[in-house]
Amino acid sequence: MHKKVAFIGSVGSGKTTIIKNLSSDEALDTDVESSVDIGKHLTTVGIDYGHLKVDDTTSLGLYGVPGQRKFSFVWDFVKEGLWAAVILVKNKDTESIAELDYLIDFFDISQDIPCVIGVTHVDQGAGGFTVKKIKETLKKKNLNLPVYTIDARLNTSAELIMRTLIAIDESN
Amino acid sequence: MEASFKKLYEKLNTKLKSIKSLSLTTSDGFTLFSENGNGFEVETDKLSAVSSSLTALSNAAAKQLMKSTFESTFIETSKGLMCMIQTKYQGKNCILSLISGANPNIGQIRFYLNELANILETVSLSAE
């Protein structure tokens, strides 16, 4: 069975990095040079795609979408038929934290689909403030989702996210 | 050499006829210049974002599946076609997009759009 996982979140939250980290094969990326200052040199404008084999019968398609809202037409077709979602939030970034509210609504995130929130760039601080703000947003929406502080560059973080999604799915 | 995008559009339209839209976009989807034909309305920001995404995906397909270099993307519809090719403007990677009217001549469009892309690589455009 092939299942679809979306990686969503604001610009620079680590979506491309975590997909490259998780993918069994070389991930497809659509990064281009940024013409404005967004805090990094490259930005995703199409779709990132990676593939992860879970076991002999299950594989996951890992879809990363652009963080900028102007590319939300890409979000539209990624959100169809989602098995699970991973929302990445950049630590201490007020725009990234505020974007969570919008993304939860846009992608119809509910308790019915496995979803994990990862706080990235935590090496720049402890992450406590960001986690608190995320939990406030989730509370307003009556959602109870796991929130982890992660390093998108590390295999251990990526594996933690995927193991959690599978565990949530099995318990649903 | 300085020219205006509007004049380049008009010159191209005398050769191709019925161009609905011509735009120059940064590779990350910001509009630099855009001209529309009479009565044709398109959301410029959306056109730039779509051009950016489709060109990036085409590039990825060309490199990773076809082991080649991307040249152009064509979308054909019953009302005309949309063509996107890569170019450079002031040293930066950009996308030149054209939306045609009905009954387009693909060969002509490809030829003249490539010619325009070459001009854009050396020209400096005024805001006129």
Q: State whether B57 and A30 contact (CB < 8 Å).
A: yes
Chain A contact set for B29 (CB, 8 A):
45, 68, 70-71
pLDDT of residue B2: 57
User: How far is the alpha carbon of B45 from chain A, nearest alpha carbon, in Å?
Assistant: 8
Q: State whether B49 and A26 contact (CB < 8 Å).
A: no
Chain A contact set for B27 (CB, 8 A):
32-33, 35, 45
Residue of A nearest to B95 (CA): A32
Q: State whether B49 and A47 contact (CB < 8 Å).
A: no
- List the single residue in A26, A45, A47 with the smallest CB-CB distance to B28: A45
pLDDT class for A125, splitting at 50, 70, 90?
low
How many other β-carbons are positioned within 10 Å of the β-carbon of residue A22?
Answer: 23
Cβ(B53)–Cβ(B29) below 8 Å: yes
Pick the CATH number of B2-126 from 3.40.50.1820, 3.30.450.30, 3.40.120.10, 2.60.40.10: 3.30.450.30
Residue of B nearest to A27 (CA): B64
Q: Which regions in chain B score pLDDT beneath 70?
A: 1-2, 127-128
Q: State whether B29 and A71 contact (CB < 8 Å).
A: yes
Query: Could you read off the pLDDT of A67-124 as tens digits, one per residue?
Result: 999 999 999 989 999 999 999 999 999 999 999 999 999 999 999 999 999 999 987 5
pLDDT of residue A54: 86
**Domains annotated on chain A, with CATH:** 2-171 (3.40.50.300)
Q: State whether B92 and A47 contact (CB < 8 Å).
A: no
- List the single residue in B49, B54, B60 with the smallest CB-CB distance to A70: B49
Residue count of chain A: 172
Q: State whether B56 and A71 contact (CB < 8 Å).
A: no
CA distance B72 to B50: 14
CA distance B24 to B85: 10
3-class SS at A63?
A: strand
Strand order in the sheet with B80-89: B31-36, B19-26, B92-100, B80-89, B72-77
The domain segmentation of chain B, as residue ranges, is: 2-126
- List the single residue in A28, A31, A45 with the smallest CB-CB distance to B29: A45
- List the single residue in A28, A32, A74 with the smallest CB-CB distance to B93: A32
CA distance A145 to A164: 10
pLDDT of residue A37: 85
Please state the ipTM of this predicted complex. 0.81
Chain A contact set for B93 (CB, 8 A):
32-33
Q: What percent of chain A has pLDDT over 90?
A: 81
How many other β-carbons are positioned within 10 Å of the β-carbon of residue B36?
Answer: 17
| Residue A126 or A103, more confident | A103
DSSP classification of residue A10? S
Q: State whether A73 and B26 contact (CB < 8 Å).
A: no
pLDDT class for A47, splitting at 50, 70, 90?
very high
Question: What is the Cα Rg of chain A in Å?
Answer: 15
CA distance B68 to B50: 22
pLDDT of residue B18: 83
Residues of B with CB under 8 A from a CB of A: 26-30, 45-46, 49-50, 52-54, 56-57, 59-60, 64, 92-93
Greatest pairwise CA separation for chain A in angstroms: 45
Cβ(A156)–Cβ(A122) below 8 Å: no
- Nearest CA to B90 out of B114, B57, B126, B56 is that of B126
Q: Mean pLDDT across the stretch A119-135?
A: 86
Query: Could you read off the pLDDT of A141-159 as tens digits, one per residue?
Result: 999 999 999 999 999 999 9
Chain A contact set for B87 (CB, 8 A):
none
What is the rounded end-to-end Cα distance, in angstroms, of chain A? Answer: 18
Chain A contact set for B70 (CB, 8 A):
none
